[in-house]
Amino acid sequence: MDISGDWTNAAVGSTGEMNYEVYLVGGAVRDRLLGLTPRENDWVVVGARPEDLLEQGYRQVGASFPVFLHPETSEEYALARRERKEGHGYHGFKVDFHPEVSLEEDQQRRDLTINAMAQDADGKLIDPYGGRQDLEERVLRHVSVAFAEDPLRVLRVARFAARLAPLGFSVHPDTVKLMRDVTGSGELEHLAAERVWTEIAGAMAAARPSAFVDVLRDCGALSVLLPEVDVLFGVPQPEKYHPEIDTGLHVTMAMNLAAREGWPAQVVFALLLHDLGKAATPPDEWPSHVRHEQRGVPLARRVCERLKAPNVYTDLALKVTGMHLRCHRLLEMKPATKLKLIEDADLLRRPELLKNFTRACEADYRGRGGFEKRDYPQAQILAYTLAAVLAVSVGDIDTEGLKGSQIGNRLRAARIDAIAGIADRAG
Q: How many CB atoms lie within 10 A of CB 391?
A: 10
Entry pTM = 0.91
Kindly tell me if the per-residue pLDDT of 88 is higher than 70.
Answer: no
Q: Could you read off the pLDDT of 37-74 as tens digits, one per residue?
A: 988 899 999 999 999 999 889 999 876 778 999 999 99
CATH topology of domain 139-225: Hydrophobic Seed Protein (1.10.110)
What is the pLDDT, as a whole number, of residue 93?
Answer: 58
What is the pLDDT, as a whole number, of residue 3?
Answer: 52
Question: CA torsion angle for 306, 308, 313, 318 (degrees, to 10)?
Answer: 40
What confidence category does residue 157 fall into, taking pLDDT thresholds of 50, 70 and 90?
very high
Interatomic CA distance for residues 300 and 353, integer angstroms: 18
Kindly tell me if the per-residue pLDDT of 105 is higher than 80.
Answer: yes
What is the pLDDT, as a whole number, of residue 13?
Answer: 46
Residue 21: phi and psi, rounded to 5, are -125, 155
Q: How many CB atoms lie within 10 A of CB 169?
A: 21
DSSP state of 368: S
What is the pLDDT, as a whole number, of residue 95?
Answer: 75
Which one has a higher pLDDT value, 85 or 132? 132
What is the pLDDT, as a whole number, of residue 405?
Answer: 80
What confidence category does residue 17 fall into, taking pLDDT thresholds of 50, 70 and 90?
very low
What is the pLDDT, as a whole number, of residue 361?
Answer: 98
Asked if 183 and 220 count as a contact pair (C-beta separation under 8 A), the reply is yes
What is the pLDDT, as a whole number, of residue 281?
Answer: 96
Interatomic CA distance for residues 328 and 33, integer angstroms: 45
Segment among 1-10, 151-160, 203-212 with least mean pLDDT: 1-10
Interatomic CA distance for residues 25 and 16, integer angstroms: 23
What is the pLDDT, as a whole number, of residue 223?
Answer: 98
Kindly tell me if the per-residue pLDDT of 126 is higher than 70.
Answer: yes
Interatomic CA distance for residues 126 and 80, integer angstroms: 14
**Element holding 224 (H helix, E strand):** helix 222-225
Which numeric CATH code is attached to 1-137? 3.30.460.10
Kindly tell me if the per-residue pLDDT of 424 is higher than 60.
Answer: no
Segment among 26-30, 144-148, 296-300 with least mean pLDDT: 144-148
What confidence category does residue 4 fall into, taking pLDDT thresholds of 50, 70 and 90?
low
> Which residues are registered as beta bridge partners of 96?
82
Residue 198: phi and psi, rounded to 5, are -55, -45
Asked if 416 and 335 count as a contact pair (C-beta separation under 8 A), the reply is yes
What is the pLDDT, as a whole number, of residue 66?
Answer: 86
Segment among 191-200, 241-250, 375-384, 418-427 with least mean pLDDT: 418-427
Amino acid (one-letter) located at 284: D
Could you tell me which of 2, 70, 71, 14 has the C-alpha nearest to residue 42? 70
As a whole number, the mean pLDDT across the chain is 91
Q: Could you read off the pLDDT of 342-356 as tens digits, one per residue?
A: 999 999 999 999 999
- Quote the percentage of the chain above a pLDDT of 70: 91
Kindly tell me if the per-residue pLDDT of 16 is higher than 60.
Answer: no
Kindly tell me if the per-residue pLDDT of 395 is higher than 80.
Answer: no
Interatomic CA distance for residues 283 and 285, integer angstroms: 5
Kindly tell me if the per-residue pLDDT of 124 is higher than 50.
Answer: yes
Segment among 40-49, 196-205, 321-330, 400-409 with least mean pLDDT: 400-409
Interatomic CA distance for residues 67 and 341, integer angstroms: 50
What is the pLDDT, as a whole number, of residue 396?
Answer: 75
Q: What is the mean pLDDT of residues 265-287?
A: 97
DSSP 249-296: HHHHHHHHHHHHTT--HHHHHHHHHTTGGGGGS-GGGTT--TTHHHHH
Number of H helices, E strands in the chain: 18, 11
**DSSP-derived 3-state class of residue 76:** strand
